[in-house]
Structure 1
Amino acid sequence: MWSLHCLSSGFGAESEVLLTMARQGVSLSRPHYSVFYRQAAPMGTTAKEEMNKFWSKNAKLSRPMSPHLTIYKWSVPMMMSITFRGTGVGLSGAISAFALAALVLPESYPHYLDLIHSLSVGPYLLGLAKFALVLPASFHTYNGIRHLCWDLGKGFRIPEVYRTGYTVIGLSVITSIAVAFFL
């Protein structure tokens, strides 16, 4: 009881906290944090109730569910961004698939290359297949260089964004045609 008397004679908020801890039988010699979380107030609503309240309010105000991509005017920067992300995902998936195939398939690469040659595919169809394989890689490479220029702080004005976008598309197509039909 003497310790409670000593604590109660102190001044300030610290003495009040210590007095409360002493009354509850909390040991002051070791950390004891239960005092702090015992007094947490329970939540008044659940997440489901909050969600229902949100949707009811939006329905009452005649708000749309969510803006859809069809309401936006498509632009070159928007398409370049979406395509850049898509080619990145596609190329990483293709590289992973080829690496896994190299580990799992029983034959080596020259065997499968000879298999493709034995199919007697016409040169235009083979060129078209090479074009389809090279186009995403060249686009992703050139657009990656464009992004590196942006990292340097160059080309942020809207006319430059459009000009570099068209340049990336043009270079990608030219490179893909050159690789597909001349190599």
Structure 2
Amino acid sequence: MRLVFLSALLHAGRHCLRSHLSPQFCIRNAVPLGTTAKEEMERFWNKNTGSNRPVSPHVTIYRWSLPMVMSICHRGTGMALSGAVSLFGVSALLLPGNFESYLEFIKSLCLGPSLIYTAKFALVFPLMYHTWNGIRHLMWDLGKGLKTAQLYQSGVAILALTVLSSAGLAAM
């Protein structure tokens, strides 16, 4: 039984490769030889300009919504956290002294508790937002919470969880 199944699978795979990689398929979709990318782009823009079609306004035509803003912020916090971790690692390698000496330096500045709390909150907020929103994205990958009303509900819940967990961690 297994042998029959494997041979049928092998035959189907060969058939698919032959049909999709035939010379006609490759030639039909190929860019003509002798042109460069610059020439192709000029040809594209000349054709569009000659047809008098309007250029698409892209995102400027959309009204900003909570899921849209949260998606942009998720990407931004991901880049910011990646940059912060990289900067922290490079600075740990290049700067003299150790972590304790810098912590003592910050304590010697005699900053007020409200300023320290605010700084800690600002440092932990992107991490908490990215973490909670990442869990939300994982739920979407499972196919849960994809209806419009659920998107807004989960968005508000993520923002509330972010503020509460950031406040709790900053208080430590």
Is 1:58 the counterpart of 2:48 in the alignment? yes
Structure 1: gaps of 5 or more residues: 1-41
State the AA in 2 paired with 1:148: L
Instruction: Give 1 or 2 for the bigger CA radius of gyration.
Output: 1
1:18 is aligned to none
3-state secondary structure, aligned to 1:172? helix
2:17 is aligned to none
Q: Which runs of 4+ in 1 moved over 6 A?
A: none
State the AA in 1 paired with 2:153: R
State the AA in 2 paired with 1:172: T
1:71 is aligned to 61
1:26 is aligned to none
Choose between structure 1 and 2 for higher RCO, CA contacts under 8 A separated by at least 6 residues.
2
2:112 is aligned to 122
TM-score by length of 1: 0.69
**For 2:93 and 2:70, how far apart are their aligned partners in 1?**
34
2:121 is aligned to 131
Structure 2: gaps of 5 or more residues: 1-31
More helix by share: 2
User: CA offset at residue 59 of structure 1?
Assistant: 2.3
Superimposed CA distance per residue, residues 16-63 of structure 1 (whole angstroms, 9 cap, x where no aligned partner): xxxxxxxxxxxxxxxxxxxxxxxxxx7375543332232123223334
State the AA in 2 paired with 1:132: A
Is 1:90 the counterpart of 2:80 in the alignment? yes
State the AA in 2 paired with 1:95: V
**For 1:55 and 1:86, how far apart are their aligned partners in 2?**
32
Is 1:103 the counterpart of 2:104 in the alignment? no
Q: 2:134 aligns with which of 125, 144, 147?
A: 144
**For 1:47 and 1:102, how far apart are their aligned partners in 2?**
44
TM-score by length of 2: 0.73
State the AA in 2 paired with 1:85: R
**For 2:73 and 2:124, how far apart are their aligned partners in 1?**
15
RMSD: 1.9
3-state secondary structure, aligned to 1:56? helix
User: CA offset at residue 148 of structure 1?
Assistant: 1.6
- Aligned pair in 2 of structure 1 residues 44, 103: CA closer, same or farther (>3 Å)? closer
Percentage of identical aligned residues: 55
2:3 is aligned to none
State the AA in 2 paired with 1:70: T
